[in-house]
Structures are given as C-alpha cells and as structure tokens.
Amino acid sequence: MHLHQVSGRSRLGLALSLLTVLLWGLLAIALKIVLQQLDPFTVTWFRFTFAGVVLGGYLAIRRQLPTWQQLKKVSLPVFLVAVVGLSLNYILFVTGLGKTSANNAQVLTQLAPMMMGIASLMIFKEKYNYQQWVGVAILICGLVLFSHEQVRSLVINLNSYMWGNTLLVLGAIVWAFYGLAQKQLLLNLPSTSVLLCLYLSAALLFSPLAQPERLLTLSGMHLLALIFCALNTVIAYGAFAAALEHWEASRVSVILTLAPIVTLTASSILPSFVPQLLSPSPLSFLGWIGAIAVVVGSMTTSLGTNLRN
C-alpha cells in the first residue's frame, strides 16, 4: 500500500504541533467548566457541528470544498477508522473528564500520542536515532515525575476514579487509530477537506443523542467556555492535521506530550481569576522538575535527525 510522505517543512510542522499543544492543554480545563451545565453528548455534538459549519463555510468562500472526484479516491475503511476513532475519542474523553480532573485526564491522555508515535515507527517506516531514543527516555522519566501527584491520587481514589480512568485510556487508544488513519487520508485529500468530512460525519452520529435546547440555559462564562471548546476543535485539529502533512507522525506525537504542562500550569493560575469555576491545583517542586524534563526530552526527540529505510 502506498503510504503518505511528509513535505519536509519541519519548522512549520513544529510550529503547528506547538499550537496544537497549547490549545489541547487548555481544552481539558474549558471542558471541565462546560460539563458543569451540559451533558457530554450535547457538548460533543456542538463541537463537531460548529467545526463543520465554520470549516465548510471557510472552504466554500475559498472555493476549496472537496469534489466528488476527490472523495471517490478516499479509502472507505480508512475513513471509517478515522471518523469512528475521532468520535469515540471525543465522547470517551469528555465523559471520563467529568468523572475525574482536568490534570488527571491530560496525564492519561498522553498515552495517545505515545502509542501513535510507536505505531508510526512501524507503519510509516520512520526510525529514531540514538539521540532521539535518549530523548524518549528523558521524556518518559519527566512524565513520571511530572504526574506523580496525579498518579498518587489515582491510587488513593482508585474506586471513585476507576470508571473515568478506564474511559480516558480507551479514548487514548482509539485516538491513536484516528491519528494514523488521518495521516493516511492525506494521500487523496488536503487536511482541511479530511477534517470537514470527519466533522460533519461525527456531528451526524451524535445528533440523535444531543439536546440542543440546553444550550439556551448556559450562563455567560459557561457559554464562553463552550465557544472556546468549539473553536479549539477547528483550530487545534486543523493545526494537527496540517502538522502531519509537513512532519513525521512520530515527531508530532512527541511534541503533543507537552500538553500536560499547559494544563497543569493553567490549573495553577486560572483559579485565581475564576475561583467560582475552578479549584486550585498547584504544582510541586518535583512536578516542575518533571515538566522541564518533558520539554527537554520532547525537543531532543523531535529536533533530532530521523533515519529512514
């Protein structure tokens, strides 16, 4: 089977990956706020519908909507893997988040890019050199230190968190399948067209379970948080898909592991401004040491020179 090849514009791929990290790092906190007044299915349906309408309108204005000739070239099995993987990831993450915390959810979600990176080494024939494997080792050690408090809380509250943690891990697994399918779909369609098809298909899947009338009951801050989540869907996944066009999936996946740093940092700062919506979540000294190790390991892995067959 013919596999997708990157453009080689590594700096652009890095910039797009970092934008994705920033937005995904803040997403868990915004979703936690929204879930105070909305159910997971309505939130997920709104995000996909909003993203589909906005992106579709943008492509229509630029006359870049996918043509029937382009769509016929797309592998249906690969597309189904992508849309089911993305849809399941969204609902599993939001549901699991509602039963745990933003920090905990973001830590467990890092299983997704790590699995995608490992799979891409095998499927897309990407290889790491010695320096990059050292970077991976530093990154893993950093994640362990960085998340030690969250891991400890999981053990202490294992019974109450078990269901939420299970959903988050399952969400991470299906996201890895989505990420690999997304990359393969780029063979026949530009990233914006792929995402448009995914958003509209996923919105259709969730429409029977959504309660749109509940959107009218949202308070000001919760409505702003929901709009941010919807815009996050458009911009973050657009940046992620574009990053895969220019950079190896194994490198993109490593950069995405920086998202917990954004989440925990924001969780430490934002409660000072909106204490009625968020509880403080300070980061310990060991947590900051781990955060620095994650950054160093991520940069070492992603900026090294990949080897190819």
Query: With pLDDT > 70 as the criterion, what percentage of the chain qualifies?
Result: 79
pLDDT value of position 227: 94
What are the tens digits of pLDDT across the range 201-227? 999 999 999 999 999 989 888 999 999
Q: Which of 259, 243, 237 is nearest to 86 (CA)?
A: 237
What are the tens digits of pLDDT across the range 229-258? 999 988 987 888 788 777 776 677 778 778
Q: How confident is the model at residue 303 (pLDDT cuts 50, 70, 90)?
A: low
pLDDT value of position 7: 60
pLDDT for residue 130 is more than 90:
no
pLDDT for residue 129 is more than 90:
no
Which range has the top average pLDDT, 21-35, 148-162, 184-198?
A: 21-35
Rounded mean pLDDT of 158-164? 67
pLDDT for residue 158 is more than 70:
no
Q: Which of the two residues, 21 and 282, has the higher pLDDT score?
A: 21
pLDDT value of position 147: 65
pLDDT value of position 309: 41
Q: Which of the two residues, 239 and 119, has the higher pLDDT score?
A: 239
Least confident of 44-48, 143-147, 155-159, 191-195: 155-159
